[in-house]
Structure 1
Amino acid sequence: MAAAGVVSPSSALARDWGLTLFVVTEPPMSSKPGPVSYSPGSRAVARLIFENRGEAPLEGIRVEVDLAGARPAVTGTSTWTRDGNTVRATIDTLAPGGSIELPLVVELADGTERGARGTGGEARIRASVPASGETLVAEAEWPIASCADAFHAALRQIRYGTFAALRAAVDASREPDKSLPGRTVFTFKPDGGRQEASAVRFSERIAQARGLDSYYTTEDIRWISGRLIDDIGVYLGQDRYPGLCTGVAEWTAILQDHVGRFTKRAGEIAAYRASLEQAARAAVATASARSGAEAGAEVGAEVGEDGLDADDAIEPWDAAASLLSSIGDTDGPPAGAALFVAARDGLEAAGAALPPARRADLARAFAALERLWYLDLAADRATAVAGGFTGTLDAIRKAHDTTCTCGS
């Protein structure tokens, strides 16, 4: 008599006589390097190889396989007969030195619990020879990739990637940028109606607050953003458990409703920018045209390359830097808001070399671009917050769709 404990492949040690069993579980067709795992609901195969290493024939060998987490895929022409989750077969005769192979095909169960735990399919195999009393016991298994494990790992990646960026964006939205001057350099009088005037007032408030939009410091918004951050952080940091894949769509939908106020704020700032951009475009075009008439066509071309195409949004810093170069700045434009201080100083340094009309046009263009620059600063912060919340929830949903394939 011999016994076998089987993973894949495995064999039973045998005496010089009697029945020997080898069990080989075939890997899935799509196996990648590393531990073999199967997909829930897929078919898997175990090859049961019987040998007679004795000197006498073995007759009426009874083979019985009990399955868990798998269903026998038995057809009408199969060697196996099925009784629930148990299959049986009989080997009539196995001659000395002979061998016979019985393939066992199963369909792996896709139940949520077994899939989430990564239990997969298991088979307990028992073969006996009634005449001699020989009995072999062996096992086979087809592990299913754990949905909960895979989803848990994906959530950790989101926690240290997308979610970390969201937290940084929310923190930044509540703090002023102390490197900014706290005021605008140029004076600008809007003449494009109420919407443009509102955009100018808003941009000047952003300048005075050093980039801070007071919307994000109100008690209501601080509480909501803080609560969302806490809830998402707890979710992403939870321990792995079998039901981790459940309820994701419902939970993210609830949070998405609260995120709407942040996307709305980003939209409001975008609307401010759109209304002021027309005034900025007109002011830059006027200053460029006058500069081109007085200094040659190259100035207008330079500014055009920096964002004055009718189909593109103006890049305020680029356009202001180009205008500054047109009045003789040779040191190169400074970064950020300091550019507008340099523009003011450049206009003063030019003195009488600048005709009054051109000076006025340049000053108005710089003023419009300065306010547009502050609107872009506010828009970037608002978009980072809104996009951070939405992007984190989208990442969770995508991770769920990708990893939770176990029926949950």
Structure 2
Amino acid sequence: MKSFVRVLLCLSLSVFAIRAVSPAKTPNATAKTAQKKETGQKADAKTLLHDARKATAAMIKNARSDTVLDPKKPKNKPFWKSVHLVAKNLKMAETGLASKSNDFFKGIADAREAEEQLKVDWQLTDSKNKKVIENGKKLGHALAILRTDFSKEAERKKKGGDLTAQEKAQFEKIKGQQKDLLAKIKKLEGEAKKDKALEKGLAELKKQANHILKEPATVDAYIATLYLLDVQIGLIRGYEYYVDKDWRADWVVLENIEKTYETNYTEWETSVSYDWTEVNTSVDIYEGEDVDVTESVSEEEINSEDSYAENESFDMSEAEEEEVATEEDTDEEVASDDEDSMEDASDDEGEDVSDDAGDDSGGDDSGDDGGD
């Protein structure tokens, strides 16, 4: 059962567009997920973390050799800033795993958010580098498995039972924040009508918020929501670079909402125990979750590329941010879903991430716009 649940979660976490639909209304999608085949490969936390670092190094190595991805070009800097965050947080996770500290969980969760941000910011570049895309997807697979199998959320889900008083209160806070988010999105939608890419991002954020508001007060739904918030935070941070100067202040409000959530989440995470023997358990790798980097990347190269991503400056001036946002407005490729995207092939197979969620067609929820 644990492996089956992880398949559902990984499919949802590894994609840009979360499909929040009811299994009762989509028997074909449910059957397709249930038939996900094992590859015969297994991996524990240490192996998957190394896979993630290797995929990141391979991605950086190929990106650095691509002149189109020159980190000095303003429109490439958001991508490189995301890469920096991924590398930084994977190193934190590695240190945390070695010391069996909460840095392991924080590093993986933050890397997962940064990887989602990276997929959004990749669309701003003009690169069609297949190797960068391939390794970016493998990074996403490794992080999704780490997040859904080797986390305090996974441990809490395994324990089962009813939500604690603290968890119920936290869930209500999250739902309150989602209502605030919907209110801000409603205002931003009018400003983003001429920006197809940003309009797409706002629609996804709106769908996620409405989905969370419909979740029942159960452990499965609560844990699924925590996973979904990884994606939501990554989207908010990634789309920051799409926002025009005149209404950037409105976007900052969205970022403040997710910062408040992270503060509340830390309170829950520090209160939950973890059985560290779990990190030595090997879990199945399913088809579509490939984490093996095919090209040769030595340990020396992994450390070298990590060092580059962590120490190189990708800071953007206000003028550069404005230039990127303005150029993005008229770039049709940024908003398109094509083979040059880092979105996974499993995008169309994802389904509801909780076992007991109600119907959610992904459309607008007339009662949950939040108002102004």
TM-score, normalised relative to structure 2 = 0.26
- Tell me which structure has the larger Cα radius of gyration: 1
TM-score, normalised relative to structure 1 = 0.24
Between Structure 1 and Structure 2, the one with more strand by share is: 1
The higher-RCO structure (CA 8 Å, 6+ apart) is 2
